[in-house]
Each structure stands twice: as C-alpha cells, then as structure tokens.
A and B are shown apart, each in its own frame.
Chain A
Amino acid sequence: GAVVSQHPSWVICKSGTSVKIECRSLDFQATTMFWYRQFPKQSLMLMATSNEGSKATYEQGVEKDKFLINHASLTLSTLTVTSAHPEDSSFYICSARKRLAGISHEQYFGPGTRLTVT
C-alpha cells in the first residue's frame, strides 16, 4: 500500500497564531512531498515541493516565511502557517512520492487538513 496521513484533520485557530500540519507516509519512504492548497470547488494549487534533507522549493506567489516547510525525515514533512490570518483559511493537502518511484512519479495524497482562522 501507499498510505499518507495528515494531522490534524481540522483545526481552528485565532488570527495571529501559528499552526503546524503534519504529513506522514505510513508504509513507504518518501523523498519528495508536495503541499497543496485547495479552495472550495477548485483545483489544487501547488504551494511547495519538499525534498528530504533540503530546503523546500516554493511556487511563485507563495510566501516561504509564512508557510514554513520542514522535511526532516523520509516519512514526515510539516507545514507551519505562521501568523495565520482569516485569508489563510483553506484546505491543505499533502502528497508524497515514493523513494523508489522510478519513472512513475505517482503521488499519494493525504486526506487533507481543514484550517479555519478566526
């Protein structure tokens, strides 16, 4: 199998606080993890690509100081939303690609984290 979990599944926080979201590959090693943001009824927006042991690569328009990504091990990546504001409220999804993906580059998705900033 290829199971990806996210924690928490939903979180409510006050404006100005920081929130950390964890993404774990449960039964495989992932050298690359991706963080997406999904708005209601819209497609996924890639925020950043995270490679184990190196700095994340952020997409254009995504503030790296606001969305801190750490990929410290082959099974865990974290996204920290710093000084959250109501406009950061969204559905955050991570995906992971197997360490020995070969040419497939298939990504396995987590269930997502619903963030609401009040």
Chain B
Amino acid sequence: AQSVSQHNHHVILSEAASLELGCNYSYGGTVNLFWYVQYPGQHLQLLLKYFSGDPLVKGIKGFEAEFIKSKFSFNLRKPSVQWSDTAEYFCAVNANAGNNRKLIWGLGTSLAVNP
C-alpha cells in the first residue's frame, strides 16, 4: 500500500535557523508530490508541488523542496525561518495511476519558531 512518512513530528527552531522537514513515500511509479501548510486557525494552503522536470522545486514564502527519486524523498527546506512560519506542514503524494488519484497524506510536522 502507498504511504507517506514524515520523520519529524514536532520541530522547534529559533528565528533565522535553517529548516529541513523530511518526507518519504512508498510507491514505485510516477508520482506527483505536494507540501501543504496549515497556519493556526487557517485552512490548508499549497506551498509547492512537483510533477516533472527540475527536481528542485521552489514554492511560496522562500520554501523549496527537492525530489530525489532514488531515495523516494521530497524534503522541504527553508534557509532561514521566521516566526510567521509557525504552522503544521503536510507532505502528500498523488500516485499517477487510477481514476480518482487521491492524495496520500503524511501525519504532518508541527513547526514552532521562537522569536
């Protein structure tokens, strides 16, 4: 069965620290990869996505992620976090097969950035 694992459940950083959140998936075929963010009290928003092409994807608010096919990974990075980045981060994978092509979600990572 397809699955997505996020290794860090809770991360606490100080402002200006660098961030890397791990995401691994289990599916051998073609995938679409997503990172979503949920700020406190707000709905899910797309941070970035990968479908094909350059494996280094740049998203909003200075975030980027790198797709490494050989490692089945799609880690999220930001060189310098801000207090406003405090949120829940979800990695999701859409296996490019089947009719509905539902998203498979990781359990999420709670990021707290101290000012």
Interface SS of A by simple majority: strand
A42 close to B101 (CB less than 8 A): no
**Which residue of the partner chain, among A51, A104, A110, contacts B43 with CB atoms under 8 Å?**
A110
A25 cross-chain contacts in B, Cβ below 8 A:
none
A:49-89 near B, CB below 8 Å: 49, 51, 57
A107 close to B103 (CB less than 8 A): yes
A106 close to B96 (CB less than 8 A): no
B32 close to A43 (CB less than 8 A): no
Tell me the number of A-to-B contacts counted with CB atoms below 8 Å.
49
B:55-100 near A, CB below 8 Å: 88, 90, 94, 96, 100
Chain A interface extent, by class:
20 to 34
B43 close to A46 (CB less than 8 A): no
A49 cross-chain contacts in B, Cβ below 8 A:
100, 102
Chain B interface extent, by class:
20 to 34
**Which residue of the partner chain, among B51, B88, B100, contacts A32 with CB atoms under 8 Å?**
B100
B108 cross-chain contacts in A, Cβ below 8 A:
42-43
A43 close to B105 (CB less than 8 A): yes
B101 cross-chain contacts in A, Cβ below 8 A:
105
A:78-118 near B, CB below 8 Å: 93, 95, 103-112
Which residue of chain A has its CB nearest to the CB of B99?
A51
B51 cross-chain contacts in A, Cβ below 8 A:
103-104
Query: CA A107 – CA B103 in complex, angstroms?
Result: 9
Query: CA A110 – CA B42 in complex, angstroms?
Result: 10
List 20 contacting pairs A-B, 8 Å CB cutoff, sorted by A.
Answer: A41-B110, A42-B107, A43-B90, A43-B106, A43-B108, A46-B105, A49-B100, A51-B100, A57-B100, A93-B43, A93-B44, A95-B44, A103-B32, A103-B96, A104-B49, A104-B51, A105-B101, A110-B43, A111-B43, A112-B43
Residue positions of B touching A, CB distance < 8 A:
32, 34, 36, 42-46, 49, 51, 88, 90, 94, 96, 100-103, 105-108, 110
